[in-house]
C-alpha cells in the first residue's frame, strides 16, 4: 500500500520507520497509527482504571525589563498575571480532549499549577501536576496546562514585550497505568517498590 499523500509520509518520515502501528514490523509502534499507517483513537476499553498522575514543566523568558517588573508587581492593564495564567492553564487542562485530536477526554480529579520567578534570567518557571483515575494517562493534560499558562502570560504582557520566548515544555514525571512510573531522565520505575 502506498503512503503517498499520508501526512507522516509527506513530512519525510516513512510509516515503516514507525512500525506503521504494528510492533511486529520491527519499527517503533505508535499507538495512534493502525497497521496501514492511518490515524486512529486508541481503544482503551479493556484497560483497567488506575490512579494516574503526571507532572510537566516549561518556562517563559521576558526580553523587556518593563514587562518583567510589571509581572513581579503582579499587575498589568489586564489584571493579576499569574492568577489569570493559572486559571487559563487549569481550564485548558480540562479541555485537552477537545484541543488534541486523538486525546481521550478525561475526568480530572485534580490539577494544580505553580510558578517560580528567576530574576537574573527574567524567567517564569511553570509546573503543573494533573491527577485522575482512569484507563489512560494525564500527561497531555499536564503539558497542556503548562503551555496555555505560558501563552496566557504572553497574552497579558505582549503589549510591552513581544519578544518573550516560551520554551522547554516537557513531561517530567508520570505514574500509574501498565507502564508504571517514568522520570524525566527517560527512566522507568515499577508501579510499586519491590519488597525488601
More confident of the two residues 17 and 111: 111
Closest by Cα among 149, 155, 143 to 88: 149
**Is residue 124 one of the residues assigned to a domain?**
yes
E strand or H helix at 103: none
Residue 23 and residue 64 share a domain: no
Q: Residue 196 pLDDT > 90, yes or no? A: no
**Is residue 151 one of the residues assigned to a domain?**
yes
Q: How far apart are CA 15 and CA 37, in angstroms?
A: 6
Residue 33 and residue 56 share a domain: no
More confident of the two residues 52 and 167: 167
Q: How far apart are CA 18 and CA 28, in angstroms?
A: 5
**Is residue 123 one of the residues assigned to a domain?**
yes
Give the count of domains, the chain: 2
pLDDT for position 34: 59
pLDDT for position 187: 54
Is 155 a known active-site residue?
A: yes
pLDDT for position 33: 57
Q: What is the 3-state secondary structure (H, E, C) of 1-56?
A: CCCCCCHHHHCCCCHHHHHHHCHHHCCCCCCCECCCCCECCCCCCCCCCEEEEEEE
Residue 113 and residue 68 share a domain: yes
What is the separation of C-alpha 31 from the centre of its chain, rounded to a whole number of angstroms?
Answer: 17
Model confidence pLDDT, tens digit, residues 119-144? 999 999 999 999 988 777 789 999 99
Residue 30 lies in domain: 8-40
Q: Are 44 and 132 in contact (CB under 8 A)?
A: no
Q: Residue 146 pLDDT > 60, yes or no? A: yes
* pLDDT band at residue 171 under the 50/70/90 scheme: very high
E strand or H helix at 145: helix 139-157
Q: Which of 10, 155, 161, 168 is catalytic?
A: 155
Residue 29 and residue 60 share a domain: no
**Is residue 45 one of the residues assigned to a domain?**
no
**Helices 139-157/81-94 angle, 10° precision:** 140
Residue 58 and residue 21 share a domain: no
**Is residue 155 one of the residues assigned to a domain?**
yes
Residue 114 and residue 22 share a domain: no
Residue 36 and residue 55 share a domain: no
Residue 82 and residue 63 share a domain: yes
Residue 117 and residue 90 share a domain: yes
Amino acid at each position: 500500500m502506498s503512503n503517498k499523500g499520508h501526512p507522516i509520509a509527506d513530512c519525510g518520515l516513512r510509516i515503516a520507520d514507525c512500525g506503521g502501528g504494528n510492533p511486529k514490523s520491527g519499527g517503533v509502534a505508535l499507538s495512534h497509527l493502525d497497521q496501514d499507517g492511518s490515524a486512529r483513537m486508541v481503544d482503551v476499553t479493556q484497560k483497567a482504571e488506575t490512579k494516574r498522575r503526571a507532572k510537566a514543566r516549561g518556562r517563559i523568558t521576558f526580553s523587556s525589563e518593563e514587562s518583567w517588573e510589571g509581572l513581579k508587581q503582579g499587575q498589568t492593564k489586564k489584571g493579576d498575571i499569574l492568577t489569570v495564567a493559572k486559571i487559563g492553564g487549569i481550564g485548558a487542562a480540562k479541555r485537552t480532549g477537545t484541543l488534541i485530536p486523538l486525546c481521550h477526554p478525561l475526568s480530572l480529579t485534580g490539577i494544580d499549577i505553580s510558578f517560580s520567578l528567576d530574576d537574573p534570567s527574567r524567567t517564569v518557571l511553570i509546573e503543573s501536576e494533573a491527577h485522575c483515575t482512569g484507563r489512560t494517562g494525564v500527561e497531555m493534560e499536564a503539558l497542556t496546562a503548562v503551555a496555555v499558562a505560558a501563552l496566557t502570560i504572553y497574552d497579558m504582557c505582549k503589549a510591552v514585550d513581544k519578544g518573550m520566548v516560551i520554551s522547554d515544555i516537557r513531561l517530567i514525571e508520570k505514574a500509574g497505568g501498565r507502564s508504571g512510573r517514568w522520570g524525566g531522565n527517560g527512566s522507568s520505575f515499577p508501579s510499586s517498590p519491590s519488597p525488601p
